[in-house]
Amino acid sequence: MDSPSSKPEPSKKQKSEKSQGNSGEKKKRPAPGFPGGIWFILLIMLAVMFLFNMGGTKDVEYSFVREQAEQGNVEEIIYNPPNTIYGKWVEPPTDPEDKDKKLSEDFTSYVYDTESLFQFVKTLTEEKKLKSYKALPFDSGAGQQLLIYFLMSVFFLGIIFFIFRRNSESMGQGMFGNFAKSPAKRFTKSDKQQTFNDVAGMEQAKLELEEVVEFLKNPEKFRKIGAEIPRGVLLKGSPGTGKTLLARATAGEAGVPFFSVSGSEFIQMFVGVGASRVRDLFKTAKENAPCIIFIDEIDAVGRERGAGLGGGHDEREQTLNQILSEMDGFEKNEAAIVIAATNRPDVLDPALLRPGRFDRHVTVDKPSKEGRVGILKVHTRSIPLDSSVDLENIAANTIGFSGAELKNLVNEAAIHAARASRKVVMMEDFDSARDKVLMGPPRENILQGHERDMTAYHEAGHALIAWLEPEVDSVHKVTIIPRGWSLGLTQLVPDEENFSIGENKLHAQLAMIMGGRAAEKLIFDEYTAGAQSDLKKATQIARRMVANWGMSEKIGPVAFDQREVHPFLGKEMHDSREYSEQTAHLVDTEIQSILINAANRATELLTENREALTKLAEALLDKESLGYAELTELIGESAQAKKRNGNGKGSSNF
C-alpha cells in the first residue's frame, strides 16, 4: 500500500492535455488567504483607540469640575498645556448625564481661560480644598498628539494602499492598469460558436465576407499571388439587421480568435486612456494573429474630426487618430482584420473609410421574404410548432421586419403560448404576437357611448378607403380595442415589397389617412381631436412630396429640404433655408392644396359608399375587431384583390 504522501506523477500525456485545456483560458488565481496587511491595519486601529481612551477616563465639563472642587471633592489637578486638565476625585461623583451611574476615579476636562484656572487653583489651595496641583511643561503632550496624528495618517494611508493593492491585483498592470488595458472580450474556439449556418436573410453580405474567411483559413493562397486582404470591413445597416451576428459568424466560420469591443468602451474619464486602449487592443491582436477585431457602434469614436468642442485635443479625436494609425500600421504579412459595425455611416470620418483602412463596405439590408422565412426557421429550431403554423404566411405578413424584430416576434408567440398553458406554439400565438409588436399591447376598453361610436366610424373610414383604393396596401385588421396610445387602429399589409413609391400611391395613401376624419364629419358633422396623429402624418408626407420629391407642378423638380447635419451631435440642428419667402409661401400653399384634395377625395368616396361605412362601423361596435376575411364577407372583394385578379381597378358600389 502506498503511503499517504506518495502520489503518482501525472503522465506526459495528462500534462499535455491539461496544458491544452487551459491554453485558451485565464489561469485561475488561488483563493486569497487573510493578507498580512489587514493585521497591520487592525494593529494601527487598536493603537489609536488605546491612545484616545488611555486611562479609561471620562471627559467632563469644566464647570462641573469647578463645582466639585468647591465642595472639596477634587483631590488632584494636573494642567497639560495648552487647554487640557487631568484630575482625580476624592469620591467619584454621580455622572451628570446619567444619574444612575458614577464616574471613574480619574477625569479629563478642557479649559480655555487659563488665567481663571490659575486663580481658581490658587483659591482652592489657600482654602485647603485641593490637595495637589501640578502643571506639566508646555511641550510634554506634543509627542503624544504627534503620535496620534501620525498613527491616524498611517491608518488611512494603509486603507487606501490596501484598496488599490487589491484592485491592482485584479487589473494586472499596477494601480491604474485597468484604465490603459483594452476592454475587448475574447471569444476562442472553446466558446460556443456561431457560423454562417446560424445566419439567414443576409446572403449577399455573407458572400462579401467569404473572401475574408478564406484568407484567414488559407492566407498563403493569397500571398503567393501577391494579393492583399482588405484591412477592414465596415458593416452598415439599420438597427437589428444582424451586423454583430454576421461578424461573430465570420469569426466562427474562420475558426480564429475574435476580439469584440464597443466603440464607447475606449473613452474613459482620464485623458489618453482611449488611445492607450486602442494600442493595447491592436498589440494583443497582432500577438494572436490570424484573428478578427470587431468594433461595434464605431460611430461613437469614429465621427468626423474637427467637430468636437475640444478641437484637435478632444479625447474622442485622439482615440480615432490612434485607430487610424494602428490600422495603417499593420504589416502586410499579419492576418488581423478589423470588422466594424454602425448604423450611422454618414457621420464617420473620411479617413476611416478610405482604401487601406476600411476597404470594403457591406450593406446589411432588412431581409426579403425568403430571408425572413430563413430567419424564422433559425429562431424556431428549439420551439415546438403546431402543424397550423405557416412560416411562409408569417414572413409574407411581416414585410419590413428586421432580424431582431423577427426574433422578438417568435419569442412573444412562445410567451403567449406558455401563458395559455399550451405545449406547442400555434398560428394564433403568432397573430397575437404580431399585433402586440406592431400595435402595442391591448388596454382596457375605456370607450363608452358616443365616443365609442365616433371611434368606430373613424376606423371604418380608414378601412373603407383602403379597401376601395387599389393603390393602398391591403387591410389586414381593423379594431377599436385601444392599443398603446391609440384608441383604435387600422393595420395595413403590403401585397409585395416596395423599395420606391409613386405619386399615385402617395395621393391614395393621403386619402386613406384623411378617411377617419372625413367619416367623423360625414356622420356626426364635427371633427374630433383623435385625428391629430393622422394630420401630422399626412402633413409630413405632403411636405416631402413638395419639398423633397418634386411632385408639385407649381414648384417643379427642385429639392428645398436642405438641412444641416452636425457630424459630432449627429442631429439636425436647424433648417438651412436657401429659398425666398415667396417660395416658402408657395411650398406651404402646395402642401395645403394636396391635403385638401386628399380630404375631398376621402369625403367623396365615403359619401358614395355610406352604406358600406355604416356596415363596417356597426360590425366594429359589435365585434370590436375585424380581419381580412370578415371584411370581405361584409363588404365584398377589395380593390387590391380585383386588381390582382385582373378585374380592373376595382371600385365597389353598394
**Annotated binding site, which residues?**
237-244, 458, 462, 534
| Distance, C-alpha 176 to centroid of its chain | 27
Half-sphere exposure of 187 (CA within 13 A, CB side): 20
- Dist. CA 606–CA 609, nearest whole Å: 5
Residue from 396, 389, 394 nearest 369 by CA: 396
How much is the CA Rg of the chain, to the nearest whole Å?
A: 41
Whether 368 and 215 have beta carbons less than 8 Å apart is answered as no
Q: Which residue has the cell 393622422?
A: 534
Of 256, 257, 278, nearest to 268 (Cα)?
278
Contacts with 556 (C-beta within 8 Å, 6 or more apart), sequence order: 550
CB 517 within 8 A of CB 535: yes
Which residues make up each annotated binding site for ATP? 237-244
The tally of CA atoms less than 13 A away on the side-chain side of residue 362 is: 26
Whole-number Å distance between alpha carbons of 128 and 399: 107
Binding region for Zn(2+)? 458, 462, 534
Q: Which residue in 181, 184, 180, 301 sits closest to 251, CA to CA?
A: 184
Cell, residue 495: 401585397
Task: Give the residue from 51, 172, 62, 144 showing the smallest Cα distance to 111.
Answer: 62
Q: Which of 414, 413, 410 is nearest to 401 (CA)?
A: 410
Could you write out the DSSP letters of every residue in 273-342?
A: HHHHHHHHHHHHHHHT-SEEEEEESGGGT-BPTT-STTGGG-HHHHHHHHHHHHHHT--TT--EEEEEEE
- 204 HSE (CA, 13 A, CB side): 11
Q: How far is CA 25 from CA 133, 189, 190, 221, 619, in A?
A: 75, 11, 9, 31, 65
Query: Can you list the positions of beta strands (E) in 57-112?
Result: 58-59, 74-80, 84-89, 94-95, 98-102, 106-110
From the list 90, 122, 128, 121, the residue with the least C-alpha distance to 106 is 90
Among 304, 315, 459, 471, the active-site one is 459
- The strand pair at 74-80 and 474-479 is best described as unpaired
Instruction: List Cα–Cα distances, 37 to 78, 163, 169, 518, in angstroms.
Output: 39, 11, 14, 81
SS3 state of residue 264: helix
Phi, psi at 116, each rounded to 5°: -70, -30
Q: State how far the Cα of 284 lies from the Cα of 333, in Å rounded to an integer.
A: 16
Does 590 qualify as catalytic in the annotation? no
The 3-state DSSP class for residue 414 equals helix
Burial 94-132 (b: 16+ CB within 10 A, else e): eeeeeeeeebeebbbbebeeeeebeebbeebeeeeebee
Rounded Cα distance, 120 and 126, in Å: 10
Query: How far apart (Å, rounded) are the C-alpha atoms in residues 607 and 653?
Result: 11
- Enzyme catalytic residues: 459
